[in-house]
Structure 1
Amino acid sequence: MHGVPSPVAPQPIVPMSIVLMLLLAAQPVATDLYLPALPHIAADLDVAAGQAQATLTVFILAFGIAQLAAGPLADRYGRRRLLLWGLALYVLAAIAGALAPALPMLLAARAVQGIGTAASVIAARAIIRDQHAGAAGMRAMARSLTGQSAIGVACPLAGGLAAHYLGWHATLGMVAGFGVLAWLAVYTGYRETWRRPEGDRPAGLLTFLAHPQFVACALLAGLSFSGALCFLILSPFVFIGEFGMSRLAYGALPALCSLAFLLGTVLCGRLLRHWSVPRVVRLGACLSLLGGAGQVLLWHGGVHAVWALVLPQCVYMLGHGFHNPCGQAGAVAPFPAQAGRAAAVSGFVLTATGFVSGQLASASGASPSDTLVAAMGCITALLAVVALVFVPLACRDGPLPRPASQ
């Protein structure tokens, strides 16, 4: 065993739990914080609502593709070096977006920020696998996501305040400030955890896609994320556009969903101490299915009210708090020697699933509210099949077995 060369790290002064929380939060901060400003961006730049939505879409697309490069880089050069460069890119892109005078520059800045975010998130997932195996990795992921979701609760509220009083440019300025904080946390609080095994061979895409546990867990996380993403994309146009809510009031709605997700991650971490992984995932599936079905039944039953959309979404997000840590950590768990690459491929599957779902939702000719209800109904049905059938089959020999070759 020998270490990968990396910048000399000072003695850690920030707890590792805080570092991981900030790294995983880089993605929701870059999306949720500026959501309340989307209608303002469209008006200020004199573009259609769909073009304003493209600033989120291009971020997600760049984030998804960049993960495929971030994983091999994390396994080749180490987590720390990738993080310092990736977070620097994240900050510079946020500043460029805040200063953008027109949509093309804003789109370019958001794409670059997606690349920096990929480095942060992939390295964080790899660090968790460096330090934990099996269900312990899922518990560590759940704890980190609990902190991430606590930040997620504050993001739309802070974004709503900033958009209302300071304008949309200020929301991206706040994203840049968060990136600086995360960079400092890595520099002062993280020492390299990656050690390259002797004779390590790069794992190809088929190595991961041929493993049932990887496929089941990656799909679990991807479909669950799709439901959360569709709500994020459509909700400003549903609640601000159709229901006439102020940007300030709207900010409370994604915050409620993030709070439900936070509660789900806490429950998931505790239940994994006593329950098998398939049992925990089944409980999450019941919650997600209840949320999606409840939204469809209420809406088509004539209950066209804010609570009829938000309350079932919160129940769905409670289940998402089970699926996300189990799916993300479960996909990487069988590959300790290729954790960066496994995290990259699973992250790409997650983001690609969300991107396709978001594109279909954005292209819908129906009203935003009808589109949201239809999307959630379809997503929860597919998610239930994966969670109730595929994950138990993949983990039938016990929680998270490793491949025989490891």
Structure 2
Amino acid sequence: MSWYRLLAGECRAILTNPAIVLIVFIGVLFYSVLYPLPYLREIPSEQPVVAVNLDGSQLSRRLERFIDATPQVRLAARAASLDEARRLLLARHLAGILVIPEHFGRDLLLGRQPVLALAGDATYFLVSSTVLEGMNAAARTMAAEARAGQLLRAGVPPAGIGEQLTAVRLNVRPVFNAGMGYVQYVIPAVFVLILHQTLVMAAGILTAGQIGDRNGEAAGYWRRCPPWRLLLGRCLVFGLIYTGLALYYFGPALAMYGIARLAALEALWALIVPLLLAATAVGIVLGRLLAQPERVTLVVLLSSMPLVFASGFIWPETAIPDALNQAVQIVPAIPAIKAFILLNQMAADPAAILPLRGQLWLQALAYGLLAWWLLGRGQGLPSPGRQQPT
């Protein structure tokens, strides 16, 4: 069989398979828009809270204004008692409660430490921590202001008040994630995983579907083709399709969400090629071993979430058991995610990812040989050493 007939047969088999078209062309583009949506706000802000002011002094009302001025929370309601605040929290879906105790203003002026009660709705951990952070920051600001007034009345020069309030000054400068948000570090890594998982799924569905397709024109081309040629042709067709998708993901898609691209195009290309070859070979192996498209889809989908946490960009590698860290190294997405983050998000030199790129090429070779062997053993396929007419 000629290369032209093989590549034409592969393209026809891909484009006429609704599941593959849905995954490759619709799913990949759909995920590039759908997945980043929850992260566009970066962090929660302006969360509504209710205040229970049992003091009623000028300082307590000033504290309320301080809290309302923070970017994390918004004073949405006031209650006369804690029970009323609880009812408002449940009825109006508020995010937290602030209770200012009696004699708050008096204790603050006398240099005592009044106790504020801060409560956040722990249904969503991120929202709860944001609410508590905002109310705590306002309370600390209020306490520092009161302390500064006491020092001034005691005769301390204004220039020395700052040193007494804060003995240590921090100058925090994020190196790689200046916005301290989720988009800059989550989305690029997830894009790599999406490309890997959809490619594995598509190649697996095509391979598994051809095992049971023994009749008709669709089955003819792959049954009359030597395994090595079928493997190379399939890698070439899927590689060309996913090269375009990868360039979209790492180009316009990153720019659409304001994510910086620090890696040079040639460095990205040197990383994308072994990833696509390895992922295609993995899909072929799964397709031959599982023998049914539904099984391939189920296995890939079930493995996606564990791979997200095992890849080390959301959950730190030091908190993952060593055995699991070593086990997931057989998945091409793991070194690809690490290499892409180093290259594109941290502006690492291409030489720094050589071990990871070598791991990808080794996986492409190992899975490629395994796929060639499995294709040769498949029923209806010629053996690796049998010569076929062209």
TM-score in same-fold range (> 0.5): no
TM-score scaled by length of structure 2: 0.29
TM-score scaled by length of structure 1: 0.29
Q: Which has the larger radius of gyration?
A: 2
- Structure number with higher strand proportion: 2
- Structure number with higher helix proportion: 1
Give the structure, 1 or 2, with the largest relative contact order (CA under 8 Å, sep 6 or more): 1
